[in-house]
Amino acid sequence: MLSGVDMTDANTYRHRKLMFFGWLKISLIGLIALRISGLWLLTPPATVTGAIGVTLILIVFVWPVLNQHIKASLWLSFVSCLFFTTGVLNAMTEGRELFGIVESILAATIFVSAMMFARNAYRELEAISESSEQLTT
């Protein structure tokens, strides 16, 4: 018979995974929107290559993240460091302070939520695997 503790662990990890997944979706879409809006919000305006070209890297991750691919979220966490750095540089530039701060916060949120999503997703898989092993013995 299944141990109640193992299924409780799996449910706990699933709940945490979904919570961090929600934060990941919101921050990813927010960062994409912010980067594209840089064409209109920034003075001097961002170049098309900077606003859209580099943002295409983030857009590539939208579909895998929405499908909850664990490895894609891990890669996205590393890619978000590039946008964190860009945000810090924008925050240090006159006239772009607020834009840079928001960009840095969104990139940091992507980093943390993607890592925590992957961590809890793997732990959920381990708990399910352990409970199915106990079921077969």
Residue 77 tokens, joined: 């966490």
Determine the average pLDDT of the residues in 64-70.
96
pTM comes to: 0.88
Higher-pLDDT residue of 11 and 53 is 11
Higher-pLDDT residue of 58 and 135 is 58
What pLDDT score does 6 carry?
53
16 pLDDT higher than 60: yes
Q: How far is CA 55 from the centre of its chain?
A: 14
**CA separation for the pair 75, 111 (Å, rounded):** 10
What pLDDT score does 5 carry?
47
**CA separation for the pair 112, 118 (Å, rounded):** 10
Show me where the domains of the chain are located. Answer: 4-136
Task: Work out the angle at residue 107's Cα, subtended by the Cα atoms of residues 103 and 111, and round it to the nearest 5 degrees.
Answer: 170
54 pLDDT higher than 60: yes
